Amino acid sequence: MDFKLELVVVPVSDVDRAKEFYADKVGFTVDVDHRAGDSFRVVQLSPPGSACSIAIGSGMSQAAPGTTKGLHLIVTDIEAARAELVGRGVDAGEPFHFGENGQAAGIDPGRRDYATFLSFDDPDGNGWLVQEVRRTDPSSRPATES
């Protein structure tokens, strides 16, 4: 049986500001924007090409805004992804990788899958990583390395 991740709640302080950031700057598609009275609102947004979405809103989480860290987006070209994000107004960091001595600036010298990252935060400080996976089917997982 498959157990597919459908939705991740991202706590925000200002739903409209976060919706604008994720839709207009990051390029997510707005799937749903639903209100139930004055105390509940859910906005579901999906990254391009992703089967998993995020939900932002009010009255749906007790987590403090800005406390979600380490969400990953997978791309096939990290340089193109950074250029797109920066062009849309996102303060995306420079690419980095992990070498023998820990985190190092720049793209992984061997351009290995899952080895190069960049980061950005939403307006509340929720932290995202963009990870490069260059093979044609990023949904398949690599064999375990020994």
Task: Indicate the number of domains in the chain.
Answer: 1
Domain around 58: 7-132
- pLDDT computed for residue 141 by the predictor: 57
Structural domain contains residue 70: yes
- pLDDT computed for residue 20 by the predictor: 99
Q: How far apart are CA 18 and CA 16, in angstroms?
A: 5
- pTM over cut 0.75: yes
Q: How far apart are CA 77 and CA 58, in angstroms?
A: 34
- pLDDT below 70 — which residues of the chain? 136-146
- pLDDT computed for residue 99 by the predictor: 87
Q: How far apart are CA 85 and CA 122, in angstroms?
A: 12
Asked if 101 contacts 42 with a C-beta cutoff of 8 angstroms, the reply is: no
The DSSP code for 136 is S
What are the pLDDT digits (tens) for 101-141?
A: 999 999 999 999 999 999 999 999 999 999 999 985 545 55
Structural domain contains residue 64: yes
Structural domain contains residue 42: yes
Ramachandran class of 134: left when φ > 0, alpha when ψ lies in -120 to 50, beta otherwise:
alpha
CATH number of the structural domain spanning residue 94: 3.10.180.10
Structural domain contains residue 140: no
Q: What is the DSSP string of 32-67?
A: EEEE-SSS-EEEEEE-TT-S-EEEEEESS--SPTT-
